[in-house]
Amino acid sequence: MSFVKRPLAARRSFRSSLFTVAAACVASFGFTGAAQAAETGKIGLDLPLLTSPFWQSYNTYLPKYAKDMGLDILAPVNSNGDPVQQITDMNNLLNLGSKGIVVGPLDSAAISRALDSAAARNVPVVAVDVAPTQGKVAMVVRADNRAYGEKACKYIGEHVKSGKVVQIMGDLASVNGRDRSEAFRSCVKGYPGLTLLEIPASWKGDVAATALDSLLTANPDVKGIYMQAGGVYLSPTLQTLRRKQMLFPAGDAKHVVIVSNDGIPQEFDAIRRGDIDATVSQPADSYAKYGLFYIKAALAGQTFKPGPTDHGSNIIQLAPGILEDQLPAPLVTKSNVDDKALWGNTVK
């Protein structure tokens, strides 16, 4: 393609004309899209990221349950681990005329800006996996994340009588990262033979791998590891242990006891191989199912109160006006890893 050099004034005029035409096209497209979305009354879906097998699995369940419930959904948007991008994505969903939104918040505090925008338009929002610290939501769909940390700690405490244990933490800007970290830390105090070492990794596998490599160089006698998210930490952790010649199967005297969170198929395979010992199965299927269930209920004007549900969970009050449906999250070990009721054994 050739470029003919024009006088400065002509070039400015030419660029101005192009900008005007492009702006008109964008405005026309956006208006049409918003009008069509408003007419069909679609549900907006915001995914926090898709680099984790957990969220990939969650994403596969959304269209299935939406179809079962007769809900019309927009194509999910992926905020790719960026809280600022998530606010933009949420506003875009509102501009597309979403009548309700299901979102997995990345930052418990930052999401309040998007929640305020939704509330101003009377659009209900259901938060999945992470609870906001402020802002209005119809329901938080989440498991008890403090129980994740406690279950991991108790398993390690029962199998490691003394020595150093490592906690690979999530993002502490997320209530999930804080709950799991604080619960594990508090529980370890009940096992006086254990010494706790911590790695803040912000749900990033490369950060976890680099920090773990340095930690193991200085502490080659580590006896246990708690990974707060198997979806992002499993492979980097096992690769690091293998490189350090510290990856031995369960039952071997040199085995490092490892407990994870998520319940993805890759973790189940690692349990079967003896690479890790257990994981807490975070219910990706139920997150999708009940995230959509509660947005449908909110649009119908249905409200809920604290107490037991008809699906084996318990609704609690997190703060004034914020309710959370705490879904069950079982501990998976070699004894029950082949249970067909676990979503990690059914997801494709």
Same domain (yes/no): 151, 258: yes
Rounded to a whole number of angstroms, the CA Rg of the chain reads 23
For tokens 């490892």, name the residue: 258
Co-location of 271 and 149 in the same domain = yes
Percent of all residues in the chain with a pLDDT value above 70, rounded to a whole number: 88
Q: Please report the pLDDT score of residue 348 as a whole number.
A: 67
Look at residue 52 and tell me if it is in a domain.
Answer: yes
Collapsing DSSP to helix, strand or coil, 23 comes out as helix
Same domain, 68 and 151: no
The pLDDT score that the predictor gives to residue 211 is 98
What's phi and psi for 183, nearest 5 deg? Answer: -65, -45
Same-domain check for residues 150 and 268? yes
Check whether residue 157 and residue 119 sit in a common domain: no
Query: Is position 319 within any domain?
Result: yes
277 and 163, same structural domain? yes
Q: Please give the mean pLDDT across all residues of the chain.
A: 89
Same domain (yes/no): 153, 232? yes
Indicate whether 162 belongs to any domain: yes
Determine the structural domain holding residue 168 and report its residue range.
145-281
Give the CATH number for residue 62.
3.40.50.2300
Its pTM surpasses 0.85: no
- 237-294, pLDDT tens digit by residue? 999 999 999 999 999 999 999 999 999 999 999 999 999 999 999 999 999 999 999 9
Return the pLDDT at 5: 36
When pLDDT is averaged across residues 139-167 and rounded to a whole number, the result is 97
Chain-centroid distance, C-alpha 344: 16
Task: Identify the pLDDT of residue 321.
Answer: 83
pLDDT digits (tens, 9 = 90+) for 212-241: 999 999 999 999 999 999 999 999 999 999
Q: Is residue 333 part of a domain?
A: no
Whether 26 is covered by a domain: the verdict is: no
One domain, residues 125 and 169:
no
Q: Taking 70 as the threshold, does the pLDDT of residue 11 lie above it?
A: no
Distances in whole angstroms, Cα of residue 20 to Cα of each of 3, 12, 17, 280, 327: 21, 12, 5, 55, 52
> Would 317 be classed as within a structural domain?
yes
pLDDT tens track for 55-100: 999 999 999 999 999 999 999 999 999 999 999 999 999 999 999 9
Question: Does residue 243 share a domain with residue 306?
Answer: no
For the chain, the domain total comes to 2
Listed in sequence order, the residues at least 6 apart from 32 whose beta carbon sits closer than 8 Å to its beta carbon are: none
Instruction: Write the pLDDT tens digit of every residue in 310-342.
Output: 999 999 998 888 999 999 999 999 999 999 999
Co-location of 81 and 71 in the same domain: yes
The pLDDT value recorded for residue 153 is: 98
249 lies in some domain:
yes
**Residue 74 DSSP symbol:** P
- Residues 203, 182, single domain; the answer is yes
Q: Both ends of the chain: CA-CA distance in Å?
A: 47
At 16-59, the pLDDT tens digits run 333 333 333 333 333 233 333 333 469 999 999 998 899 999 99
The residue-averaged pLDDT of 299-303 equals 96
139 and 288 housed in the same domain: yes
